[in-house]
Amino acid sequence: MKRVLPWAAVVLLFAVAAAAFARRSHREMLDFEVYRVAGARAAAAEPLYRVEDGHWQFKYLPAFALAIAPLAQLPPVAARGAWFFLSVGLLVLLVNRSLALMPGRRKRAAFLVWVIVLAMGKFYVREVGLGQSNLLLAVLVLAAVACWRSRREVAAGALLAAATIVKPYAILFLPYLVARRKWRGVASFTAVVLAALILPAARYGWSGNLGQLQGWWSVVTLSTAPNLAGQDNVSIAGMYAAWMGIGPAAGWLSALTGLALVLACAWAILRGSRLDSPDYLDAALLLFVIPLLSPQGWDYVLLVSTPAVMLLVDRNEEFRPFVRGMLVVSLALAALTFWDVLGREPYRALMMSRAITVGALFQVALVIQLRARGAA
């Protein structure tokens, strides 16, 4: 019976997802439409990065467009449906792997799953509804953790490189591999990323590929500043931009805070290096800091913190009662605030206060504490 119930829940999830897709998501997967158009352009060797696309510019590496190209050959509704149900499957894998790979789990699986669904549900729904690829990023990183467990270091490095092709800010894992002296992983990571950078030349030619890479860099750098002041931006840079306005002072404070966060993570990882199996904690920590460090960190990207949040809930007895209470408040603040409940203006005021970012930084600090103490 215990095995039947989880499978029944998965079947129910896919049934609800099918109903949701039939009603709305086949028309609303706006981010996937960006991927689909880029895939079609890559298949035809057309320019990927175009000013006329406006807000919906493709901001990923050319190799990702090539990876999407086969899907883009399907009729639009079929392509959206395939990506939608792939995303639902990845969501199930993310929660399942976060639970299964956690070392020394202390609480019941059902309790952790229900809490994580409540804490992250809003982000999951938004991710799937937009047709984004953050679920794929997180699942690839957890697959790398599983490879480390079985001492397949080369495969782990390749999976982290694949995550970087999906979302370039996963490059954060390369210095981690170097710091942990996982040299075979460094080699496979580097080889896969270099291959991904070169591969589009088969479609565009050498000079054309260089032009596409230059276009990617221009789009990423030029589109950052306008997005910082958006209400849904939860990055550190977005936090200071909301508080102080976009300018040099906010930029310097963002850089210093980001550097301090990276150094704190490095300190915790090195201090807790005596652990036999630190990989889950390390991956959970680095995934969590990604939306905070990336200037393009929209609130739903916090779904990649699923392993870290699950770890905090499982280890909450490690903290004093006051800290546990603050953890609950920070999770509830991020998960249970909806604009259609609060109203548009109160919701905007809450988001522009960057309370979500402050709460996320608090949670990251707790994960750093667990990692430094070796609470595995």
**Beta carbons within 8 Å of 282's beta carbon, 6+ residues apart:** 176, 180, 269, 371
Residues 6+ apart with CB under 8 A from 267: 368, 372
Indicate the pLDDT class of residue 1, thresholds 50, 70 and 90.
very low
Distance, in Å, from the CA atom of 180 to the CA atom of 191, rounded to the nearest integer, reads 18
Predicted local confidence at residue 2, as pLDDT: 45
Answer yes or no: are the C-beta atoms of 363 and 333 closer than 8 Å. no
Q: Is 188 exposed, middle or buried (0-12, 13-18, 19+ CB in 10 A)?
A: buried
Is 227 a residue whose pLDDT tops 80? no
pLDDT at 20: 60
Tens-place pLDDT, residues 46-80: 999 998 888 788 999 999 999 999 999 999 989 99
Contacts (Cβ under 8 Å, ≥6 apart) of 91: 124, 127, 128, 135
Please compute the mean of the pLDDT values over residues 293-309 and round it to a whole number: 90
The span from the CA of 119 to the CA of 335, in Å, is 5
- The angle that helices 306-314 and 279-293 make with each other, rounded to 10 degrees, is 120
Predicted pLDDT of residue 17: 55
Of 154, 174, 171, 189, give the one whose Cα is nearest residue 61. Answer: 171
Selected residue with higher pLDDT from 60 and 23: 60
pLDDT, average across residues 205-220: 92
DSSP one-letter code for 160: H
CB count, 10 Å around CB of 108?
10
Closest CA to 177 of 165, 166, 167, 164: 164
What are the structure tokens assigned to 267, written together? 């300190």
Task: Place 371 in a pLDDT band, splitting at 50, 70 and 90.
Answer: confident
CB 35 within 8 Å of CB 57:
no
Element (H, E) at 21: none
The yes-or-no verdict on residue 150 having pLDDT over 60 is yes
Structure tokens that stand for 348 in this block: 């905007």
| pLDDT-above-90 percentage for the chain | 60
Report, as an integer, the average pLDDT of 329-349: 80
Name the residue ranges covered by the structural domains of the chain.
Answer: 1-44+53-100+132-222, 226-376
CA-based nearest residue to 328, from 118, 185, 136: 118
Q: How far apart are CA 171 and CA 257, in angstroms?
A: 19
Q: Rounded to an integer, what distance in angstroms lies between the CA atom of residue 130 and that of residue 20?
A: 13
Is 87 in contact with 127 (CB distance < 8 Å)? yes
Distance, in Å, from the CA atom of 337 to the CA atom of 324, rounded to the nearest integer, reads 20
Output the pTM of the full model.
Answer: 0.90
At 193 the pLDDT is: 96
Q: String of b and e for 223-253 (b: at least 16 CB within 10 Å)?
A: eeeebbebbbbbbbbbbbbbeeebeeebbeb
The dihedral built from the CA positions of residue 240, 138, 263 and 186, taken in this order, carries a sign that is negative
**Separation between Cα atoms, residue 226 and residue 223, nearest integer Å:** 6
State yes or no: pLDDT of 142 exceeds 70: yes
Does residue 9 surpass a pLDDT of 70?
no
Query: How many Cβ atoms sit within 10 Å of the Cβ of residue 112?
Result: 21
Which is more confident, 93 or 229? 93
Over 70: is that where the pLDDT of 340 sits? no
The pLDDT score that the predictor gives to residue 5 is 44
